[in-house]
Amino acid sequence: MSTAARQAFFDRTHTDDLIAFLGTSPSPYHAVASAAERLEKAGFRQVLETDAWDGVAGGRYVVRGGALIAWYVPAGAGPETPFRVVGTHTDSPNLRVKPIPDTGTAGWRQVAVEIYGGVPLNTWLDRDLGLSGRITLRDGSRRLVQLDEPLLRVPQLAIHLDRQVNEGMKLDKQRHLTPIWGLGPVDEGALIEYVAERAGVDPAEVSGWDLMTHDVQPASYLGRDRELLAGPRLDNLLSVHAATAALAAVATAAETEGAALPYIPVLAAFDHEETGSESDTGAQSPLLGNVLERSVYARGGGLEDRARALAGTVCLSSDMGHAVHPNYSERHEPGHHPMPNGGPILKVNVNNRYATDGVGRAVFTAACEKAGVPWQTFVSNNAMPCGTTIGPITAARLGIQTVDCGIAALSMHSARELCGAEDPYLLASAIKAFLEG
């Protein structure tokens, strides 16, 4: 597709909404809340895992911590109806607050943090950081916390005190990544007291917390022609946003236009992908399988119907991929150079770090062709290790056909990443076509 054609096709309002979504989603818990709000506007309703489910047509979603599973049952769908699943994840690498957070040295007040996921440590230096996450109260209730103010900072050592810094920086995760947030002696309990007060609760009622740092600089367009998007947590909230928008659009079309759906479209947004998905909200948990199974049973099906439904199910695992880096092009596979604004990328690895095979490729390309969007292919350089996604986990756990895709980006896992401004809409369009079948 030519540049002029892409620009004509590009709907900037989608990327504008993505920027807003990133701003309201500094933690996995906020990302789930933001996605749920959009689904509610499209007619979806929340169901609890502890309740009995019905098989009535319509949109539903389940929330468990930082994970969300949403699905739309078309009118007339039988219990054996297959699913079309888009798998994503809500978490991003960052610095997370330790159980005893208040610390300090040499007259500085600091906050003890632990490294979450694969963090390029230098990208968190000299950034104004806020705090977000959730606090748990003594009665078991939870409150979301989002402090979008410059509270913390990890200061870099001045070049005068490290003359070899430009020859290779070495950061000790324990000693060099502790943020400062004031002056004075260590004030035990001060951080949680501050967070509780900002959340409007009595600090004495706080019995637990899951807090993390985030860069308070908002996402923004970049470049002379505003053709790029720079922002935090693009990996993988860009996919969460695209899949949410696609599912809402498919459900709305079915409700208002009577669009026929041969599949049950599903959004699976997991937590803890960046640390291996081994949790009750991760892709290795039974969460998605349980939801799909209960959906079959709620529509009057049994074990045979469940087996038939899963046999015809396909999962599109959508996660960020690597664009060719102009300063390090030798690190990329020479025959595969994905570029920003070139459309979604098909991610392939024959050692099953990605789940794509020839059958999955056909499903992916058919969706792109139906949506009228261009697509690209990513393969790692043989001399470089390949990352992985929830794709292989989902394929192995549920025994369903899975294909890995995403969009091309630079600075993956950085505190601030970069992609093409057109690609979010192109990806959402391809996902919508995939969910429609």
DSSP 240-281: HHHHHHHHHHHHHHHHHS----SSEEEEEEES-GGGTS-STT
Encode pLDDT of 286-331 as tens digits: 999 999 999 999 999 999 999 999 999 999 999 999 999 999 999 8
Spatial CB neighbours of 203, under 8 Å, sequence gap ≥ 6: 189, 192, 193, 196, 197
- Could you give the CA distance from residue 369 to residue 362 in angstroms, rounded to a whole number? 10
- Could you give the CA distance from residue 82 to residue 75 in angstroms, rounded to a whole number? 14
CATH architecture of 3-92+232-436: 3-Layer(aba) Sandwich (3.40)
The CATH superfamily assigned to 94-217 is: Aminopeptidase i, Domain 2 (2.30.250.10)
- Could you give the CA distance from residue 118 to residue 139 in angstroms, rounded to a whole number? 35
Range 97-104 average pLDDT: 97
Q: Count of alpha carbons within 13 Å of 281, Cβ hemisphere only?
A: 19
Encode pLDDT of 37-52 as tens digits: 999 999 999 999 999 9
DSSP 38-71: HHHHTT-EE--TTSPP---SEEEEEEETTEEEEE
Q: Is the distance from CB of 246 to CB of 105 less than 8 angstroms?
A: no
* pLDDT on residue 12: 86
Domain ranges of the chain: 3-92+232-436, 94-217
Question: C-alpha angle 365/407/220, rounded to 5°?
Answer: 145
Token pair 């098989």: residue: 55
Q: Count of alpha carbons within 13 Å of 121, Cβ hemisphere only?
A: 18
Of the pLDDT bands very low, low, confident and very high (cuts 50, 70, 90), residue 384 is confident
- Given a cut of 80, whether residue 255 has pLDDT beyond it is yes
Sign of CA dihedral 70, 76, 80, 85: negative
β-bridge mates for residue 60, sequence order = 45, 71
Range 366-381 average pLDDT: 96
DSSP 182-234: EESS--TTHHHHHHHHHHTS-GGGEEEEEEEEEE-SPPEEESTTS-EEEETTH
* pLDDT on residue 1: 44
Sign of CA dihedral 62, 16, 367, 432: positive
- Given a cut of 50, whether residue 2 has pLDDT beyond it is no
Nearest partner of 248 among 436, 13, 10, judged by Cα: 436
What mean pLDDT value characterizes the chain?
95
| pTM > 0.85: yes or no | yes
